[in-house]
Structure 1
């Protein structure tokens, strides 16, 4: 089966620096790499609510580049530093844009993520309808 690498224009910098694809499409399935709350120039956003909103915006950008939306997500995994401290804020940001109850979701607490200051990372699988 053919693979298509998905690289939104807004994420070309991360591809050149880190060497991975934001998403890979195989058939009608899109595998989205973990998205975090940072700016286009890869600066970590310090304010937790803004960082979490940026995660969803970055995820939306990748899905859009694959001709998908949040409604196409079937499975999601989120990784959290200090999960109990930030989960309420994280859920609030998620619920502002992401449909409820339409996907399988696993939350995992971790000691750290790829860069200091990151509080969460979200990866997902979407199936294009």
Structure 2
């Protein structure tokens, strides 16, 4: 089994500071770390929709670094603070990124994240 870290330049701090790979390629799959809507400096927009878009952009950054697009996603798990409050907005934003055939998706309500004020974390598995 060969594992290769996928570390786009804009997410290098995850690898260096947190000692985790933004993505890890293994046996044809790419496993992505869960991403919130904070930017590389930890700045988190107050607007939930802006957080969702930023989280999807981080996912896209890792996918591109692995030579993939959003069409490579086979499974998505999203974690939400206030799931019912933001679900329709999330579904609308998500529809701008995911393509058919749509990946499997599980949405989970959580109490909170490391970063205070975060409302979303997105984790995906993609296939090369």
Q: TM-score, normalised by structure 1?
A: 0.93
Q: 1:100, 1:71 → 2: CA distance?
A: 7
Any conservation in 2 of the 1:22–1:33 contact (CA below 8 Å)?
yes
Any conservation in 2 of the 1:14–1:42 contact (CA below 8 Å)?
no
Any conservation in 1 of the 2:44–2:51 contact (CA below 8 Å)?
yes
Matched with 2:90 is 90
Q: 1:67, 1:40 → 2: CA distance?
A: 21
Matched with 1:34 is 34
Q: 1:42 and 1:15, CA in 2 relative to 1: closer, same or farther beyond 3 A?
A: farther
Bigger strand share: 1
Any conservation in 2 of the 1:46–1:117 contact (CA below 8 Å)?
yes
Tell me whether 1:18 sits opposite 2:4 in the alignment: no
Matched with 1:4 is 4
3-state SS in 1 of match to 2:33? strand
Q: TM-score, normalised by structure 2?
A: 0.94
Mapping 1:1-129, distance limit 5 Å: 1-128=1-128
Residue 39 of structure 1: CA displacement?
1.4
Q: 2:63, 2:118 → 1: CA distance?
A: 21
Q: 1:45, 1:19 → 2: CA distance?
A: 25
Q: Relative to structure 2, which stretch is displaced further, 13-22 or 81-90?
A: 13-22
